[in-house]
Amino acid sequence: HIGLKGKEWSIGADIKIQDWTSASRTIEGEEVNLGLNSSTQLSVGIQFTPTTSVGDEDKNIFDRGNYFLGFRDETSYLTLRDVEIKDQAFTFGANFPILASRSLTKINFGMEIGQRGTNESLLLKESYMNFYVGVSLSPFQKNVWFRERKYD
């Protein structure tokens, strides 16, 4: 996290490696190796929060939101016609608080634009775009229904 004049930047990265080489399946009583490869995925992202100080209820909705930008590069466990299948995507997103509520509930929007596959060796290359909408429910911190009682 980097905070500058009430604004906050966060940078993150994730690497995921999965070994599928020993994956097998029993077919008609005989164990068969599936011939899969190891898969790798690298994801990096940035989050920007324009206003981080408490008491900013007078700010507009865009000043109180969080904004996200990311990139994902993945090599699949599949190899078709001696070509590794790759998937690359850019991701964008934002979440905004519900202004009429005292809770921390937010509405989330996201988009992913990417390509999967290749045109080599008569294979197919797919371009895709996904849209996401969601809600993160968080009660107002002074609500008593989540507090543990001292006495029953």
- Mean per-residue pLDDT over the chain, rounded: 83
> pLDDT value at position 146?
58
> pLDDT value at position 68?
96
Cβ neighbors of 90 (< 8 A, separation 6 or more) are 69, 70, 71, 112, 113, 114
What is the Cα–Cα distance from 41 to 88, expressed in whole angstroms? Answer: 10
Q: Which residue has the higher pLDDT, 145 or 105?
A: 105
What is the Cα–Cα distance from 92 to 131, expressed in whole angstroms? Answer: 10
> pLDDT value at position 110?
97
C-alpha pair distances (Å), 37 with each of 20, 79, 85, 141, 143: 5, 7, 11, 48, 51
Residue 142 DSSP code: T
Number of other CB atoms surrounding residue 77 within 10 Å: 19
Confidence tier at 62 by pLDDT (50, 70, 90): confident
> pLDDT value at position 63?
81
What is the Cα–Cα distance from 139 to 45, expressed in whole angstroms? Answer: 28
Q: Which residue has the higher pLDDT, 62 or 54?
A: 62
Number of other CB atoms surrounding residue 32 within 10 Å: 10
Q: Which residue has the higher pLDDT, 100 or 61?
A: 61
> pLDDT value at position 145?
60
> pLDDT value at position 54?
54
What is the Cα–Cα distance from 47 to 65, expressed in whole angstroms? Answer: 11
Confidence tier at 128 by pLDDT (50, 70, 90): very high
> pLDDT value at position 59?
65
